[in-house]
Chains A and B, each alone.
Chain A
Amino acid sequence: MVKFKLNGQLVDVQDGLTVLQAAESLGISIPTLCYHKDLSPFGGCRLCVVEVRGARLPMTSCNLPATTGLIVQTESPALTRYRQAVLRMLLSNYYDASYTRNNGSTGLDEHSEFARLCREYHVDVSQNMAPRPLRPIDSDPNPFVWVDMNKCIQCTRCVRACAEIQGRFVWTQAYRGYQARIVAGADSTMLASRCESCGACVAYCPTRALDNKMSMTAGQADRLVRTTCTYCSVGCQLDLNVKENVSGDQVIRVTSHHETPDTVNRLHLCLKGRYGYEFIHSPTRHTRPRVRQHLLEGGASGNGRSKLVETDWDTALEIAARGLSAARRTHGSQAVGVLASGRLLNEENYLLNKLARQVLGTNNIDCSAYLYATSVTDGLIDSLGLPAMPTSFEDIANNASSLLVIGSNLTEQHPVFGARIRQAVLRRKLKLVVASPDFVNIAEYAALAVYHQPHREAALVNGLMLCLLEKGWHDPSVATSHPTRFAALQKALESRTPRWAAEQAGVSVEALYKSADILAHHRPSAIVWSVGLADPEHGQSNVEALASLALLLGDLNKPGGGVIPLHTQANLQGACDMGARPGWLPGYQWCSDQQSRLKFEQAWGAELPSQPGLPASEMMRQANAGRVRALYILGEDLLNSTPQAAAVRHSLEACDFVILQEPAASETTRYADVVLPGVTFAEKTGTYTNAERRVQLVRQAIQPVGKARPDWQIIAGLAQRIIQFEQRRFHTAYYAGWDYADSDQIMLEIARLTPIYAGVTHARLAHSAGLQWPVTSVQDPGTQRLAIDAFSIHREQLA
Chain B
Amino acid sequence: MSDQPSQTELDALLEQAVRRHGVGRDALIPILSEVNKSIGYIPAEAFGKIRRRLNTPQEGLFLADSHVFAVASFYQMLSLQPTGAHVIRYCESAPCHVVGARQVLEAIQDELGILPGETTRDREWSLIPTSCIGVCGVGPVFLIDQDLYGNVTPDRVHEILDRYR
Contact = CB atoms under 8 A, between A and B. Distances in A.
> What is the interface of chain B mostly: helix, strand, loop, or mixed?
helix
B66 A193 contact: yes
A177 B129 CA distance: 12
A447 interface: yes
B57 A445 contact: yes
A187 B58 contact: no
Contact of B58 (A173, A174, A176, A429): A429
For B59, B69, B74, the residue with the greatest tally of chain A CB atoms inside 10 Å of its CB is B69
A296 interface: no
A307 interface: no
B70 interface: yes
Nearest to A179: B73
Contacts of A447: 58
A185 interface: yes
Contacts of B70: 172-174
Contact of B44 (A184, A186, A427): A186
Interface stretch (A162-170, A259-267, A497-505, A749-757): A162-170
Contact-residue bracket for chain A:
20 to 34
Contacts of A429: 58-60
Given A177-B131, A429-B58, A185 B73 contact: no
A194 interface: yes
B68 interface: yes
Contacts of B69: 172, 174, 183, 185-187
B66 A171 contact: yes
Contacts of A427: 60
Interface in A398-433: 425-427, 429, 431-432
B80 to A, nearest CB: 9
A511 to B, nearest CB: 16
A114 B137 CA distance: 43
A188 interface: yes
B110 interface: no
A756 B73 CA distance: 58
Contacts of B12: none
A167 B65 CA distance: 13
A172 B59 CA distance: 21
B73 A174 contact: yes
B1 interface: no
B62 A445 contact: yes
A725 interface: no
A734 B96 CA distance: 92
Contacts of B68: 186
Contacts of B74: 174-176
B73 A188 contact: no
A183 B68 CA distance: 12
Interface in B106-162: 131
A444 interface: yes
A186 B65 contact: yes
Interface string A526-565: 0000000000000000000000000000000000000000
B64 A431 contact: no
Contact of A193 (B58, B62, B64): B64
A183 B57 contact: no
A720 to B, nearest CB: 58
A29 to B, nearest CB: 33
Contact-residue bracket for chain B:
10 to 19
Nearest to A448: B58
Contacts of B47: 186
A176 B66 CA distance: 15
Interface in B67-99: 67-70, 73-74, 76
A671 to B, nearest CB: 48
Contacts of B66: 169-172, 174, 183-186, 193
A99 B76 CA distance: 37
Contacts of A168: 64
Contacts of A172: 66-67, 69-70
B27 to A, nearest CB: 18
A169 B62 contact: yes
Nearest to A185: B65
> What is the interface of chain A mostly: helix, strand, loop, or mixed?
mixed
A175 B57 contact: no
A185 B57 contact: no
Given A174-B70, A177-B131, A425 B58 contact: yes
A424 to B, nearest CB: 11
A194 B64 contact: yes
A106 to B, nearest CB: 34
A432 B57 CA distance: 10
B68 to A, nearest CB: 7
A425 B55 CA distance: 13
Nearest to A159: B66
A432 B63 CA distance: 18
A427 to B, nearest CB: 7
For A167, A171, A172, A447, the residue with the greatest tally of chain B CB atoms inside 10 Å of its CB is A172
A446 B66 CA distance: 21
A179 to B, nearest CB: 8
Contacts of A185: 64-66, 69
B69 to A, nearest CB: 4
A169 B57 contact: no
A194 B55 CA distance: 15
A167 B67 CA distance: 13
Contacts of A432: 58
Given A175-B74, A177-B131, A186-B44, A444 B65 contact: no
Contacts of A175: 73-74
B38 to A, nearest CB: 20
Given A177-B131, A186-B44, A186-B69, A170 B64 contact: yes
A167 B73 CA distance: 22
A426 B65 contact: no
A425 B57 contact: yes
Contact of A169 (B44, B60, B64, B73): B64
A466 B69 CA distance: 46
For A175, A176, A186, the residue with the greatest tally of chain B CB atoms inside 10 Å of its CB is A186
A169 B67 contact: yes
B64 A444 contact: no
Nearest to A188: B65
A426 B64 contact: no
A177 to B, nearest CB: 7
B52 to A, nearest CB: 11
Interface string B29-46: 000000000000000100
B120 to A, nearest CB: 23
Contacts of B131: 176-177
A426 B62 contact: yes
Nearest to B62: A426
A464 to B, nearest CB: 19
Nearest to A432: B58
Contacts of B57: 425-426, 444-445
Contacts of A425: 57-58
A638 to B, nearest CB: 40
A231 B65 CA distance: 31
Contacts of A431: 58
Contacts of B65: 185-186, 188, 193-194
Nearest to B44: A186
29 contacts: A167-B62, A168-B64, A169-B66, A170-B64, A172-B66, A172-B67, A175-B74, A176-B131, A177-B131, A183-B69, A184-B66, A185-B65, A185-B69, A186-B66, A186-B69, A187-B69, A188-B65, A193-B65, A193-B66, A194-B64, A194-B65, A425-B57, A425-B58, A426-B60, A429-B59, A429-B60, A432-B58, A444-B57, A445-B58
Given A169-B64, A170-B66, A445-B58, 16 more contacts: A169-B62, A169-B66, A172-B69, A174-B66, A174-B69, A184-B66, A185-B69, A186-B44, A186-B68, A193-B65, A193-B66, A425-B57, A425-B58, A429-B58, A429-B59, A444-B57
Interface of A: 167-177, 183-188, 193-194, 425-427, 429, 431-432, 444-447
Closest 7 CB pairs of A and B: A169-B64, A172-B66, A186-B69, A172-B70, A185-B65, A174-B73, A445-B57
